[in-house]
Amino acid sequence: MKSYLYKLLLLAAGFFFSFSGLSQANYTYQLDLNKTENGLLSVKLTTPSIGKDVVDFTFPLAVPGFYGKDMQFGTMVAELTAYDKWDMPLPAERIKQNQWRIRDAKGLQRIEYKVRNMWKYRMQNSRYLPAENFFIEERAFLLNPGGLFGYVEGMENLPYYIYIVRPKGLYACSGIKGMSAEAARDAFSFNTYRELADHPILYSEQEPVSFPVANATVEIAVFSERNVVSPGRIRKVYEPLLSKLGDYLGGELPAEKYAFLFFFYDGEVFIQKALEHTNSSVWVWPEKWDARLLKAPSLEEGLERENMHKFLHIYAPLNIHSKEWLAFDFDEPRMSMHQWLYQGTTEYLFYHARVNQGLIPEKTFFWFVNDFLSAAKDFRQDVSLTEVSRRTYSGLSDQYPNLEVKGALASLLLDIELRALSGGKDSVKKLAGGLVSRYGQYKAFEDAELFDVITEMTYPEIGEFLKNHVGGTTPLPINEVFNKVGMEYDAGDNKVYPKPDATEKELALREKWLYGE
């Protein structure tokens, strides 16, 4: 009993000191979701100890997964005031739309400000809704840390402690481990701002559902403005689909938990977007389904199409990434050369998983392949995939979709080449698993070294392919590679077809490519 009381006293003392005037080397944030006023949410920050007279308090201009650097988080912040330990205001002026300069900062103790509800201002200020904050009082709060919590420039790598009081009757869901769906208060800690920004939270009036997939637990949380979409409805689509995906990935996922956070809005369709994080994704979708606009016959089929792609990002870039991704610069982002891997390989594996697991027939799979061949013609042929990747923020943003299109085709051809060189044993999926084992969530590769690493893990021919067709502008060897699996490319109509005279060896390799482990 004495030991238990002693632990309680230590906990209370730690809580007191974190909010006192004593020196601290962390950020401590407090939110009370019961106290929104006119769509404004109050945020209180106890700052780390500052050793400089002048500091800049900053909100991100960019976030991982959204490839623009014009997020409007700063425009959603109001009434920002800095205080010293005697509760006296310090000089604080906005110097950029996302940044405040605080003077006499050696005495800085806390910062208070209010954050506007982006859902209310979505038509004027939104840049990418799945990365932004929505407050539907007493019903739902979608909290994206990048738009809610700031950092002192140059001090992003300190710990962050987050305390949130939630309204009664709202359930919580996030990729955060150990989070209770029903607690009245939440307390989280993160080692860096990068880690904090990677963990959105959805509080909503519907209770989340969960189910196992391989070695992981999947959770689904939903806010639906008219309550027409429930977590159970989405589970009916996702559980069998993700079970198949778990089998495809060998029953071992690089995550213990994954959360799908859905915000379904009422009214006319104006957006259908999602944003991936390391072990969660945020979705802003319409309740009222428009098959023509949304290019799927129903909500369920739309969910099936998007689900596996987002979930497969647990491989790349979430567990295979460059230093530019891992040490993301929220104010001046730099792009990796290997967005083709993050987007293109993920897109290819999405389609390959479906045919491999019997979710679509071969005929449908090759229809999708031909669709990629058609789409690739709409993009520039004189810039490499690595160059488009590197310059997504600067001059080649209009070519970004080609990373998913040509990137998927390059990954498909690599898959066939790996199967051919190994007698059917090696694959892009196996290569991705090897890269996850080599790097993982907290270790990054050097951009300039990745091709050499992959060559070392595979074959010299794979290195030449990457150098010429991904890092260079040599056209993809479509006919040459497809011939190895009994297919031929008709350049006239830009499609691949089964060869009528395919050999047994070619057909056997096609079987291993499409249906092998």
Which tens digits make up the pLDDT trace of 495-513? 999 999 999 999 999 999 9
d(CA 345, CA 383): 19
**Taking a C-beta distance cutoff of 8 angstroms, is the pair 496, 488 a contact?**
yes
* pLDDT for residue 12: 41
> Please, are residues 172 and 180 in contact by the beta-carbon 8 Å criterion?
yes
What is the reported pLDDT for 65?
85
Q: Using alpha carbons only, what angle is made at residue 284 by residues 78 and 182, rounded to the nearest 5 degrees? A: 80
What DSSP designation does 324 have?
H
- Over residues 450-464, the mean pLDDT reads 99
Average pLDDT, the chain: 93
CA distance 248 to 476: 27
Q: What is the 3-state secondary structure (H, E, C) of 438-470?
A: HCCCCCCECHHHHHHHHHHHCCHHHHHHHHHHH
Give the tokens for residue 395.
């001059």
Q: What gap in Å lies between CA 149 and CA 153, rounded to an integer?
A: 13
> 79 pLDDT band (50/70/90 cuts)?
very high
Please report which confidence band the pLDDT of residue 23 belongs to, taking 50, 70 and 90 as the band edges. Answer: low
- Residue 93, number of CB atoms within 10 A of its CB: 10
In whole angstroms, what is the distance from residue 489 CA to residue 496 CA?
4
pLDDT value, residue 170: 96
334 vs 173, higher pLDDT: 173
361-397, pLDDT tens digit by residue?
999 999 999 999 999 999 999 999 999 999 988 889 8
Q: pTM above 0.85?
A: yes
What is the model's pLDDT at position 424?
97
Report H helices in 357-477. Answer: 362-376, 385-390, 401-421, 428-438, 450-457, 460-465
202-255 pLDDT per residue, tens: 999 999 999 999 999 999 999 999 999 999 999 999 999 999 999 999 999 988
Instruction: With a cut of 60, say whether residue 1 has pLDDT above it.
Output: no
Cβ atoms of 114 and 42 closer than 8 Å: yes
Reduced to 3 states, what is the DSSP secondary structure of residue 298? coil
Segment 367-370 long-range contacts (CB within 8 Å, at least 24 positions apart): 369/409, 369/412, 369/496, 370/494, 370/495, 370/496
Is the pLDDT at 3 greater than 60? The verdict is no
Q: How do residues 389-444 score in pLDDT, each as one tens digit?
A: 999 888 898 999 999 999 999 999 999 999 999 999 999 999 999 999 999 999 99
For the residues 159-187, what does the mean pLDDT come to?
92
Domains contained in the chain, CATH given: 20-204 (2.60.40.3650), 209-312 (1.10.390.10), 323-515 (1.10.390.10)
Asked if pLDDT for residue 33 goes beyond 50, the answer is yes
